[in-house]
Amino acid sequence: MHFDLTDEQKALREMLAQFFHERLGGARAIEAVRETALDRGLAAEIGGLELSGIMVPAALGGSGLDLLSLAVVAETTGRYCVPAPIVASALAAWLVASWGTAAQRDRWLAGLMSGEIAAAFALQEAAGWLPESWTLQGDRIDGSKRNVEWAGDAGLLVVGLGGGTLALVDAAAEEVSVAPVDSLDRSRPMGEVTFRHAVADPLPLAATAPLIDAMLVLYAADAIGAASAIQALAVDYARERRQFGQLIGAFQALQHQLADMSVEIEPARPLVWYAAHAWDSGRADARRTAALVKAHAGDIAVAVARGAIEAHGGIGYTWEYPAHLFLKRTMHDRAAMGGVSFHRERAAALAGW
């Protein structure tokens, strides 16, 4: 019985924290999201970390690690508000490696793993996020998908089809067009993707459920990372800002607000780890835990982020100070793939309530 990250996962977390702190720490976070297009320089540096192959089996050139390891990555991308599609590309590489045909692997895997090709998930339609709402049909698809993160920079689109299947679509095909969406979270620009008789190369049906569950866990991990980061900003500020002749961090009202954030965040992190581990080990409660943690983490992360901005006073409400990036990151994590009450109802139904 050992409930903790492995030394390898801890080392990964340390390495990524240092890497992103140097590039995106403090006010640099604001600079990093000034443009909504992917920073190719940053993307190339991230590509050098070989994160996309994290869940690709070693036999196919990947790291052969698990979802828990990718959740560690996702928490860090949330913590530094990383404006790059790291998690999506890693998931797509896993999907192609584990579920794709030999031809699909030959076509996509090397590019995904080197970071040359970014992936985006085109799932949501007007009726909803999850497979039962998907309607696009056939080997050539017509229609559109909403709120696709990094759609404008993706080379590979993973598209949800009617009946709950997935298909790979070449984003560069002329039958595919992307209209930018004015996204709240500037670190994850979105697009609306329209397909006009585009070639859709199907994956087996069985890939869909694990993909959805993994995405829910990873949004939860990202949310916990972002919430931890904005709480840390508020704590740091409370230790340097003076009013009424003393540090504001000495005022009990503020101490209690900041302490209550720890009460929310700290136990939620092991829950995210468990949700990832349950997925990795195929436990019976994996699907339900993914729903529960998506709702829980999204809910508390936004509440923490709100409180942290309030704790800052006026500076927290300005565009130039980075706090709002984390608030918006948590709001995106909360809403993407279905909101809090949506997943709580799923968790209730999955419990047989």
Partner 1 sequence: MDLRYTEEQIAYRDGVAAFLDKAWDISHARDAGFVDLFRRAATAAGYLYRGVPRRYGGGEQPADVVRAQIIRDAFAAARAPMEVPGNGVALLIPTLLEWGTEAQREAFIPKTVLGEYRWAQGYSEPGSGSDLASLSSRAELAGDEWRINGHKIWTTLAQHATHMFALLRTEPDAPKHDGISYILLDMKQPGVTVRPIRQINGDSEFCEVFLDGARAPASWLVGPRGRGWQVSRSTLRHERNHIGSAARTTPMFDRLVALARRRHRNGRPMIEDPAIRQALATIEGYLQAQLWAGYYQQTLAATGESAGTLGLVNKLTTTNLFHRIAALAAEIIDDDALKAPAQGRDRGGDERWVSQMLGSLGQAISGGTSNIQRNIIAQRGLGLPRPAAGE
- Identify which of residues 135 and 262 has a Cβ nearer to partner 1 in the complex: 262
Q: Does 214 bind partner 1 (CB under 8 A)?
A: no
Q: Does 311 bind partner 1 (CB under 8 A)?
A: no
- Candidates 23, 28, 146, 344; binder of partner 1 (CB under 8 A) is 344
Q: Does 289 bind partner 1 (CB under 8 A)?
A: yes
Among residues 89, 95, 148, 139, which one has the least CA distance to residue 121?
148
Q: Which of 7-11's residues contact partners 24+ apart within 8 Å by CB, and which partners?
A: 8/65, 8/69, 9/65, 9/68, 9/69, 9/72
To partner 1, the closest distance from the beta carbon of 233 in angstroms equals 12
Is residue 279 within 8 Å of residue 290, measured between CB atoms?
yes
Residues 148-207 that bind partner 1 (CB under 8 A): none
Among residues 290, 287, 277, which one has the least CA distance to residue 5?
277
- Candidates 35, 250, 310, 315; binder of partner 1 (CB under 8 A) is 250
- Candidates 15, 172, 179, 259; binder of partner 1 (CB under 8 A) is 259
Q: Does 3 bind partner 1 (CB under 8 A)?
A: yes
To partner 1, the closest distance from the beta carbon of 240 in angstroms equals 11
Vertex 123 angle, CA 122 and 127, to 5°: 135
Q: How does DSSP assign 66-95, residue by residue?
A: -HHHHHHHHHHHHHTT--S-HHHHHHHHHH
Compute the distance between CA of residue 60 and CA of residue 144 in angstroms, rounded to an integer.
33
To partner 1, the closest distance from the beta carbon of 298 in angstroms equals 10
- Candidates 41, 182, 319, 353; binder of partner 1 (CB under 8 A) is 353
- Identify which of residues 296 and 328 has a Cβ nearer to partner 1 in the complex: 296
- Identify which of residues 9 and 36 has a Cβ nearer to partner 1 in the complex: 9
Token pair, residue 300, equals 């508390």
To partner 1, the closest distance from the beta carbon of 267 in angstroms equals 4
Compute the distance between CA of residue 68 and CA of residue 170 in angstroms, rounded to an integer.
29
Scanning the structure block, which residue is given the tokens 């709580």?
Answer: 344
Q: Does 133 bind partner 1 (CB under 8 A)?
A: no
Using DSSP, state whether 195 is helix, strand or coil.
strand
The strand pairing partners of 32, in sequence order, are: none
Q: How far is CA 245 from CA 155, 240, 242, 297, 312, in A?
A: 56, 12, 6, 37, 17
Compute the distance between CA of residue 48 and CA of residue 153 in angstroms, rounded to an integer.
18
- Candidates 256, 313, 315, 318; binder of partner 1 (CB under 8 A) is 256
Q: Does 1 bind partner 1 (CB under 8 A)?
A: yes
To partner 1, the closest distance from the beta carbon of 247 in angstroms equals 6
Name the residues that contact partner 1, by CB under 8 A: 1-6, 68, 235, 238-239, 246-247, 249-252, 254-256, 258-260, 262-263, 266-271, 273-274, 277, 280-281, 289, 292-293, 295-296, 299, 341, 344-345, 347-348, 353
